[in-house]
Structures are given as C-alpha cells and as structure tokens.
C-alpha cells in the first residue's frame, strides 16, 4: 500500500521500512509516514502471515501494541527474519517474547516513563473512588434517588490506610508519592528491596497483604507475577481490604477475586484490566463497591502525543545505529529504564 505522504528520512537516505502492527490515530500515522516507509498491517486487511510474506521490502523495525492480535513470538520472528528491533507502545511488553528476541539479537523497546504519571494518577483516582464511593454516589444522583432517599452511604477515610504496592517501579513509586500526600502508609513488595526508599518492604505478597488495607498491583506481567494476587493473598488482605489493579488482568486470579467480592472476603476493588478484555465478569457489573474501567489508566491526550514522540525517538535511534532510549531485556538480566518487572 502506498502512503499518501512522501516519507523523507533524515540525511537524504530513502526512508526505512517499518512494520506497523498497531491501530494509530491520524496524528501518529502521519508522523510515522513522514519519516518511514510504513507497512501498515491493519490497513492491509490481510491475515498476518500473508501480510508479512508480502512485505515489499524487508523491514528492520516493527511497532507493536500489546493486547492485540499480534504476539512477537518465535513464529512471528521466523516470518520476518529481517527484523532487528521491536518497539512496544505500551507500558507492558508481555506480548513480546523477550528471551526469543534476545536469542536472535532483536532489540526491544517499551514506552519508558511516558505513561507512568497518568497510570499512577488513575490508580489513585480509582482508589479514592472506591473508598469514598464516588461512582456509586454519582449513580445515586443520576437515578434521581437523592430527593427520594436522602443521604447516601458512608465511605472510608484515606488517611492512615496502609497501602501495599506490588511492584515499586516507575508507576509504583509515583503512586507511593501521591498517596503519602494523603497520609497513607506505604508498604511494598518487589523482587528485592530498594535502598533509596523509606517504605516498608515485604519479601512476599502474602505478608504484604496481611499488613495492608489496600493492595495495588503495579507490576509487569511475567511468569513470576501471573496470579500473584491469588486466593491466599485475598484472604490475607481481609474483609476491609481493597484491591487496585492497573497492571495486567492476569496478575490477579480473577475468578477468585470475583468470589472474594461476592462473599465479602474483601471489601472492594478498582480494576482497569481484566483477564479476558474486553469481557468483564458479569457479577462485577452490579456491584457498588467496585470501580471498573476499560483499560484507560494511561489514556490522556498528553500521553498520546508523548507516546508518538517517544516511539519515533526510539525508532530514529535504532535506524541511526544509536542505543534505544528505553530498551527492555529479559527478566534474567537486571532491568534498566522503563517499568520495573516487579
């Protein structure tokens, strides 16, 4: 497919081919087309194998969104042997087989800190909304119940709550800083304690949950963190406990979470992610003690434009032989920029 905008790469060289495996808004599209020869999967309408086989020139880089149809796995990498760089446009890279990429010398970049503040802000807003019953109060007013039923139910104070953060990376740290301003006490779990922070470290999530009133999932999804919040952890959190998830749905055993909410094993939850998006367990849709959002914790117009700039910066670094701005390595190696893996 031809782009309507002639791409002009810097230095007068012909634009490099770029595999685009993500739906983009017009601004993002235009920005990419100005710099690269964009091979747009979603615009082609072809199935992925046919699209990859038919690529007019072998692309050395690909832009891939998480949670979509494309997984960067062995089959994918076999189908595009020219690929030397994969740029993920999400905070998470669980759709990319990091080990396989490392084995083949394919560099991987993520969105770095682009989304961190917005994700942290959303987590805090959702927590306030659960504790203070904000959306429930909204529904009460919109249904016209205020004149009929008088006052609404009491919420619960934020100050003094012990908040246990699973994953004290960029996002977790920003959540901690915000909640401290509300007078919360910060606990955390992470693969190893962070020397520069004064929060209380817990070596495992069960103990973190027993000593916390709120559990916040802000870690990446990988083998170690799948269902890191399980039945045991929910029981340890207890009947006044709140779970906030802005990680990945699979960080939590969703079936056990729904059961815990139904049975009052925990008090409430704020969930931006689910195990089978866009499916949300039906039982949650009628609960007043949960806040549900459709994976929007990072959505702001500012972060969309920041993401565009950041993705292009990573691509331009790669194509000019410079190091990626926000490289991601497999879990075995210590993680550098971007979101901590736990």
Angstrom CA distances, 37 to 30, 33, 55, 310, stand at 11, 6, 11, 18
Stretch that binds another protein, among 227-235, 300-308, 309-317, 325-333 (CB under 8 A): 300-308
> Under the criterion CB under 8 A, does residue 178 sit at the interface with another protein?
yes
> Under the criterion CB under 8 A, does residue 2 sit at the interface with another protein?
no
- Direct distance between the N- and C-terminal alpha carbons of the chain, in angstroms, rounded to an integer: 41
Instruction: Tell how far CA 128 is from the center of its chain.
Output: 20
Nearer to another protein, 80 or 280 (CB): 280
Do 273 and 249 form a contact (C-beta atoms < 8 A)? yes
- Residue 197 makes CB contacts below 8 A (sequence gap 6+) with 168, 173, 176, 188
Q: Does residue 295 carry a catalytic annotation? A: yes
Do 279 and 254 form a contact (C-beta atoms < 8 A)? no
Least Cβ distance, residue 6 to another protein (angstroms): 27
Nearer to another protein, 66 or 327 (CB): 66
Given 57, 224, 277, 302, the catalytic residue: 277
> What is the DSSP secondary-structure string of 166-208?
E--SHHHHHHHHHHHHTTPEEEEE-SS--TT--SEE-SSHHHH
CA distance 289 to 19: 43
Q: Does residue 277 carry a catalytic annotation? A: yes
Given 35, 60, 113, 248, the catalytic residue: 248
CA distance 217 to 66: 18
Stretch that binds another protein, among 12-20, 180-188, 195-203, 260-268 (CB under 8 A): 180-188
Nearer to another protein, 56 or 278 (CB): 278
Per DSSP, what are the bridge partners of residue 279? 276
Per DSSP, what are the bridge partners of residue 268? 242
Given 191, 206, 227, 295, the catalytic residue: 295
DSSP 11: G
| Closest listed residue to residue 255, CA positions, set 236, 272, 234 | 234
* Window 125-154: contact mask with another protein (x via CB under 8 A): xx-xx--xxxx-xx-xxx-x-xx--xxxxx
Do 197 and 225 form a contact (C-beta atoms < 8 A)? no
Q: Does residue 29 carry a catalytic annotation? A: no
CA distance 253 to 228: 8
Least Cβ distance, residue 240 to another protein (angstroms): 11
* Window 238-277: contact mask with another protein (x via CB under 8 A): ---------------------------------------x
Least Cβ distance, residue 74 to another protein (angstroms): 29
Stretch that binds another protein, among 2-10, 77-85, 195-203, 287-295 (CB under 8 A): 287-295
| Closest listed residue to residue 175, CA positions, set 190, 191, 164 | 164
Least Cβ distance, residue 144 to another protein (angstroms): 8
Angstrom CA distances, 332 to 88, 176, 338, stand at 19, 26, 16
Least Cβ distance, residue 242 to another protein (angstroms): 14
Least Cβ distance, residue 244 to another protein (angstroms): 12
Nearer to another protein, 101 or 175 (CB): 175
Least Cβ distance, residue 203 to another protein (angstroms): 28
User: What residues act catalytically?
Assistant: 248, 277, 295
Which residues bind to another protein, rule: CB under 8 A? 25, 117-118, 121-122, 124-126, 128-129, 132-135, 137-138, 140-142, 144, 146-147, 150-159, 177-178, 180-183, 277-280, 285, 291-296, 299-303
């Amino acid at each position: 497919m031809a782009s309507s905008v002639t791409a002009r790469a810097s230095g007068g060289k012909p634009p490099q081919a770029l595999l685009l495996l993500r739906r983009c808004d017009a601004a993002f599209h235009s920005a990419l087309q100005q710099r690269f020869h964009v091979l747009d999967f979603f615009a082609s309408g072809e199935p992925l194998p046919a699209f990859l086989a038919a690529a007019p020139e072998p692309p050395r880089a690909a832009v891939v969104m998480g949670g979509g149809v494309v997984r960067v796995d062995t089959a994918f990498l076999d189908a595009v042997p020219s690929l030397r760089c994969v740029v993920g446009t999400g905070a998470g890279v669980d759709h990319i087989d990091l080990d396989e990429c490392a084995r083949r010398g394919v560099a991987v970049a993520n969105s770095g800190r682009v989304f961190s503040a917005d994700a942290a802000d959303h987590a805090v807003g959702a927590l306030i909304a659960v504790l203070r019953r904000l959306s429930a109060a909204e529904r009460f007013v919109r249904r016209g119940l205020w004149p009929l039923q008088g006052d609404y139910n009491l919420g619960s104070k934020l100050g003094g709550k012990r908040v246990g953060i699973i994953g004290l990376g960029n996002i977790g740290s920003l959540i901690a800083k915000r909640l401290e301003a509300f007078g919360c006490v910060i606990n955390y779990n992470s693969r190893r304690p962070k020397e520069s922070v004064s929060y209380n470290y817990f070596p495992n999530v069960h103990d973190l949950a027993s000593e916390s009133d709120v559990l916040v999932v802000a870690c990446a999804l990988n083998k170690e963190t799948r269902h890191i919040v399980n039945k045991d952890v929910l029981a340890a959190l207890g009947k006044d406990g709140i779970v906030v998830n802005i990680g990945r749905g699979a960080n939590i055993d969703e079936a056990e979470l729904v059961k815990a909410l139904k049975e009052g094993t925990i008090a409430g939850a704020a969930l931006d992610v689910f195990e089978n998006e866009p499916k949300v367990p039906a039982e949650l849709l009628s609960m007043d003690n949960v806040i549900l959002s459709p994976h929007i914790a990072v959505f702001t117009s500012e972060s969309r434009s920041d993401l565009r700039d950041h993705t292009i910066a990573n691509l331009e670094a790669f194509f000019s032989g410079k190091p990626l701005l926000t490289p991601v390595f497999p879990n075995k190696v210590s993680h550098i920029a971007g979101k901590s893996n736990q």
